[in-house]
Amino acid sequence: MFDLSRSSAATIALVGALFSIGLLLTPTPSYAFGISPASIHVDNLLRGSKQTRTVRLLKIPDEYDETLIIKAEPTSIDGKSITGPEFVTIPAGQRTAPYTLEIDGSRVANGAYQGAVIFSRAQSSQTQVNGTSTKTSVVNGAAIVSQTVIGIYYTVTGEEQLGYEFRDLFVQDTETILPLYLRYNMLNKGNVSWRPKGFYLSLTDELHPENPINLNISGDALPMVQPGEYSSILVEKTIPLTEGTYTAKMQFYDQNNKTIAELKSNKFAVFPPGTLALKGEMTALSSNKATYVPGENIKISAEFKNTGTIPTHAILITEIYGPENELIQINRTNETVVEKGETVLLNQFTTLEKPNDYTVSGHVEYGVKKTDTKKIAVTVRSPVVTLVGPGLTLWIFFFILILLLLILFYLWYRTTKKSKDIPKQKSPPKKQL
């Protein structure tokens, strides 16, 4: 007779085998990433110099909301002319992250070259964060199904080339006893670090346009702008101005005293002393988490409240120090307009490549003032990648399937053999009447 207990075991084994097959046949969700721009062109890299370029990686689809760590592999003709971080991270809750690479013109002769950065597919791994294992999507696995390559085309030359573009002159309101603050933007389109020799500054009172104040200001105090860099430059100048409404004009000139650009400002006011009740407070400084992996985006946030009576422009400035109190980075956000009584969150992003414990010191500059400094700690730890990749996972599934099939066969064999071994009982002879 068929053994019911063994039959149940066989049924369970069969269901387990079918379940394993179902797992193998279940499609894995597909995620990808893109990059912008699709290529980089540097047409005038001066031999012996370096230039940096930044691209942005983008999660696809938008709702993909895990931390994504992507491996970057720069390639060039000599293997060393193009360099950059080994990993770039798109944190959970963010769609994009920057990746900055460096092109070195000192390693090759003059000429045109091609290179690339290969951004690899990613796999599941475990990252230790404060003793807690958190699942992320990391390099070379099944969670990411695409690979992105950005082409880099650069020409090394021995000839210095100048190119520049000036934009957006802005002047803040001030008082008769306070300095004048002017800010403009400059793009260096050449292949050498550069700044103008100086500029002519003209300040015109709306009520007396016939009597402008004209100054010739040397460029020695202006910062050098690196090739390919777009820089926002603040100029502070103490100028005796009477009360009124003004406009400013800056005319930049080069080393040959030739005028190369002209910018006109917004209207700004000069008030009597004590008019500008400029007050503000940084109420909090924080990071989006305490522990990061090398190359992961670190988000630093400052909460700033305008407690004065006039609008102001706020800038978050942070300094990052290493374990020996050595300065690692200085970072600034763009200006943010903060209305009277408004509280805003100022965010900036940075990356750290070396595992270590760091201190972030930050304050907010607003107008001609700045807040008290606050400090926070962040830690960078190397990711711990599990040994279970997609290939090994598939072998585990096959092993489980084969094991279940062997168990099923064994139970079927035992049941069949026992049923054959049971002797048949002979029927009793019929009684004769």
| Contacts of 401 by beta carbon, 8 Å cutoff, 6+ apart | 17, 20, 21, 24
Contact 173, 266 (CB under 8 A): no
- Up-side HSE of residue 49: CA atoms within 13 Å toward CB? 22
pLDDT beyond 90 at 248: yes
The tens digit of pLDDT for each residue in 254-310 reads 999 999 999 999 999 998 887 777 889 999 999 998 899 998 999 999 999 999 876
Say which residue, 33 or 342, is predicted with more confidence.
342
Task: Note the pLDDT of residue 421.
Answer: 58
Q: What is the mean pLDDT of residues 410-416?
A: 76
Specify the higher pLDDT residue, 335 or 383. 335
Higher pLDDT among residues 311 and 417, named by residue = 311
Whether 392 has a pLDDT exceeding 70, the answer reads no
- Top pLDDT among 392 and 200 is at 200
pTM: 0.48
Q: Name which of 244-248, 374-378, 400-404 the model is least confident about.
A: 400-404
pLDDT at residue 252 above 90?
yes
What is the torsional sign of CA 347, 353, 358, 359? negative
pLDDT tens-digit profile of 298-341?
999 999 999 987 678 899 999 999 999 999 999 999 988 888 78
CB 146 within 8 A of CB 118: no
For 27-51, the pLDDT digits (tens) are 444 456 778 888 888 888 888 888 8
